[in-house]
Chains A and B, each alone.
Chain A
Amino acid sequence: MNWRSIGAIISKDFTLFFRNRFFVVITVLALVMFAVIYFVMPSSVDETLEIGLYAPVVPPAMELIQGAEEGLEIVEVESEEALKKGVTEGAYVAGMVFPPDIMEKLALNQPPEITVYFASDMPDEIREVVSAIIAEMAYLETGQTLNIALHPKLLGRDMAGSQIPQRDRVRSLFAVFVLMTETFGLAGLISEEVERRTAWALLVTPMTVKDLFTAKAVLGTILAFSQALLLLVVVGGMNAQPLIIAIALLLGAVLVTGVAFLMASLGKDFLSVTAWGVPALVVLSIPAVAIMIPGPVSDWIKAIPSYYLTDTIYQVSNFGAGWSDVWRNLLILAGFNAVIISAGIAVLRRKFQ
C-alpha cells in the first residue's frame, strides 16, 4: 500500500469536492435542513387519547363518554386480534376488551373481566387516565362505583415514564440521510474520474488500483462520518454513549461508501449515478422510517443493512442502551460492510481495466 499516493489522492479529492458547488450546496443544505427540521418538530408528545375497543356488547354509556370527554376518542374494532394489532402498531394508546356478559355481570353486581392492552411506550399517567375512563363508563352505566377487575398487559418494551418525542425518533433517519447524501458526492467523484479518464493518468504513476480504491474509501468514510457526527452533535444524538454512536456512524459511513462504489460502477456520469443513488437512498431509509413508527419492526426490514445502524442510534440515544444491548447490531453491520465494500470494489474494478 502506497500511503503517500493515497494521501495525495485524498487531498486532491477534498479539494475537488469543495470546489464543486453542487456537492457543497447539498452537503450544507442537508445539514442545515435536518437540524432545522429537528428543532422545529415538537419536543413533546401529543397526548390525545385514542382508545380501541372490542366489545361484542356495547354498553349504552359509551356514546355519553365519547361526547363528554374532550381529547378522547374510542374506536370500535371487529376483533380482539385487530385491537392488539392496533395497539402494537401505535394506532391506539390502549385497547379495551369487554366480555360478552358485561351487562349481565354489572346487573348482578359481579365484577366483569375487562382486559386492557397498552402500547409499549404508554406512560403511567395515560394508563391511569384509561383506568379512570373505564371507571367513569361504569359509573354512567350503573350509577355506582365500578365493581370490576382490570388486567393490564404490556405489549413490547415498557416505555412507562420515557415517552419519546417524534423529533428524537427521526434522528436515526436524519443520520442515514446525511450519510447517504455523501454517497452522491463520492460516487460523482469516482464516476468523473472514469468519465474524464483522469484515473488512467493516476494509474501510470506508481499508484495502483488498490491504492486508488483505498483513497476513495477513506475519503468517502471521512466525509460521511464527519457530517453525520456533526449533525448528531447538533441535535443531541451524542448525549448518551457517544463512543457507541460514533462507532455506529463510522460503520454507517463505511456502508454508504460501499454503496457509493456500487453506484459509481453502475452510472456513467453524475446524472446516472444520482439516478441509481435515489433508489439506494429509499431502501436504506426504510429501517429508519420503520423505527419512527412505534412497535416492533417487521422481520424483513432487518435484511436491510441500515437497520442495524438506525436501531443502534435509536436505542442508544433514546433509551441509553449500552454495549451489551447493541454489540450484535454493530457486528452484523460490520459484516454487511465487508460484503458491500467487497462487492463495490469488485464491480468498480472492471471500470478501471
Chain B
Amino acid sequence: MTDYSIVAEGLTYWYGDLVAVDHISFHVAEGEILGFLGPNGAGKTTTWRMLTGQLKPKAGRATVLGRDIAEDSQKVQGEIGVCFEYTNLYEQMSASENLRLFARLFGIRGFDDDALLRRVGLEGWGKHRVEEFSKGMKQRLMVARSLVNRPKILFLDEPTAGLDPVSAESIRTVILEERERGASIFLTTHDMMEADKLSDRVAFINQGKIVALDTPHNLKQTYGKRALKAEVAAGGGLEYLEIPLDAADTPDAVHDLFSQKKVITIHSEEATLEDIFIKITGRGLEE
C-alpha cells in the first residue's frame, strides 16, 4: 500500500463571496514531486497556504504526514520545509545567521550552515549580509532555509520565478536531490516547462478546481496532438508541412515527403503542458 505524505479531501476555502479553492481532492506519495499548475488567482497559493498550516480550510480536510493540518499544524510544521515565492529573509543578517535562526526555531543541534550553503552554491557567502545578495542568491538561500530541518515534505512556491538560468538550475538540482532523499515535494508554479521537467505528476487548477491530474506523459498522450512538423525548400523559400501521426495515410505522406521534397528540418510536435492547459480550460497559464 502506498504511503501518502499529503491527502486532501474536499479542501475548500473562500474569501467572502469568492470561492478560491473549491472542494479539491488529491494526494502526494512519499518521494513524489507534484507540480501544482495554474494561472494567477486559480487557487494555487491558497491551497499551498492551507497545506502549510497558514490558513484553516473552510471545508474539507487535509492530512499532512498523517496529521490533520487544521488541528495539528505546529507538529506538522516541525517536519515540513516551506519556500515562499517572495523573498522574506532578514536582509540585515548574514546568510549563516538566517539559517541558524531557523535551525534554532526547529530545535536542531549541531546545525552545519556551511554544508547547506554549499548545497545551494553559496559556499563562502555565509558571513555576508543578505542585502548584498542578488535575487538568484537570495532565492537559493530561501531554498536552503526550507531545508534546515531535513523536511519530509518540501513546499515550494514558484522557486525559480524570475531567476537566471544558473540559479534556476541549481534550485532544480536541489529539488531532485531532495526527492532522491525521499522527501515529497509540492511544487506550485505557473512555469509549465519547469513542472514538466521536475514533476512526477501535475495537477491543473483553474477557478479553484482541479481540472486535470496525471503524469506529464499521460496528459500529453491524452490531450496532445501527435504530428510531424517539417520545414521544406520550396521555390527559393521555405514551406511548413504538418503530418498527423495517427492518420490512415501517414506512411504514404511520410514517404512522399522524403521522396518528393527537400526536407530542411523535421521533428515531432508534442503538446506542451500549456497547450494542454489551454485546451482543458480555454485560458493560458500566464493570464
Listed in ascending order, the chain A residues whose CB lies under 8 Å from chain B are 4-5, 7-8, 11-12, 15-16, 19-20, 196-198, 200-208
Interface of B is mostly: loop
For A202, the closest partner residue in chain B by CB is B105
The answer to whether B84 and A197 have CB atoms under 8 Å apart is yes
**Which of A11, A16, A20, A206 contacts B77, CB < 8 Å?**
A206
B56 nearest CB across to chain A (Å): 10
Q: A4-B104, A4-B107, A8-B101 are in contact. Are A206 and B90 (CB under 8 A)?
A: no
Most buried by B among A16, A204, A207: A204
The answer to whether A205 and B92 have CB atoms under 8 Å apart is no
Contacts of B52 in A (CB 8 A): 204
Give the 3 A-B CB pairs with smallest separation, nearest first. Answer: A8-B104, A204-B82, A197-B88
Contacts of B89 in A (CB 8 A): 198, 201
Q: Does chain A have a CB within 8 A of B40? A: no
The answer to whether B80 and A16 have CB atoms under 8 Å apart is no
The answer to whether B80 and A198 have CB atoms under 8 Å apart is no
**Which of B82, B88, B104, B107 contacts A198, CB < 8 Å?**
B88
Q: A12-B90, A16-B90, A198-B89 are in contact. Are A204 and B53 (CB under 8 A)?
A: yes
Contacts of A19 in B (CB 8 A): 92-93
Contacts of A4 in B (CB 8 A): 104-105, 107
CA distance in complex: A11, B97 (Å): 11
Q: A8-B101, A12-B93, A12-B101 are in contact. Are A206 and B88 (CB under 8 A)?
A: no
Contacts of B26 in A (CB 8 A): none
A24 nearest CB across to chain B (Å): 12
The answer to whether A201 and B88 have CB atoms under 8 Å apart is yes
Interface of A is mostly: helix
Contacts of B102 in A (CB 8 A): 201, 205
Contacts of B92 in A (CB 8 A): 16, 19-20
For A16, the closest partner residue in chain B by CB is B92
The answer to whether B74 and A206 have CB atoms under 8 Å apart is yes
CA distance in complex: A208, B77 (Å): 10
The answer to whether B105 and A205 have CB atoms under 8 Å apart is yes
Listed in ascending order, the chain B residues whose CB lies under 8 Å from chain A are 52-54, 74-75, 77-78, 80, 82, 84, 86, 88-93, 97, 101-102, 104-107, 145
Q: A201-B82, A205-B78 are in contact. Are A8 and B97 (CB under 8 A)?
A: no
The answer to whether A16 and B86 have CB atoms under 8 Å apart is no
CA distance in complex: A208, B54 (Å): 11
CA distance in complex: A203, B52 (Å): 10
A215 nearest CB across to chain B (Å): 11
13 A-B residue pairings within 8 Å (CB atoms): A11-B104, A12-B93, A16-B93, A196-B88, A196-B91, A197-B86, A200-B88, A201-B82, A204-B82, A205-B77, A206-B78, A206-B107, A207-B105
Most buried by B among A8, A200, A201: A201
Contacts of A204 in B (CB 8 A): 52-54, 77, 80, 82
The answer to whether A208 and B84 have CB atoms under 8 Å apart is no
**Which of A15, A198, A203 contacts B54, CB < 8 Å?**
A203
Contacts of B93 in A (CB 8 A): 12, 15-16, 19
Contacts of A20 in B (CB 8 A): 92
A190 nearest CB across to chain B (Å): 14
CA distance in complex: A197, B54 (Å): 13
For A207, the closest partner residue in chain B by CB is B105
B63 nearest CB across to chain A (Å): 17
Contacts of B53 in A (CB 8 A): 204
The answer to whether B107 and A15 have CB atoms under 8 Å apart is no
A301 nearest CB across to chain B (Å): 41
Contacts of A198 in B (CB 8 A): 88-90
Contacts of B91 in A (CB 8 A): 196
CA distance in complex: A204, B145 (Å): 12
Contacts of A208 in B (CB 8 A): 74
Contacts of B54 in A (CB 8 A): 200, 203-204
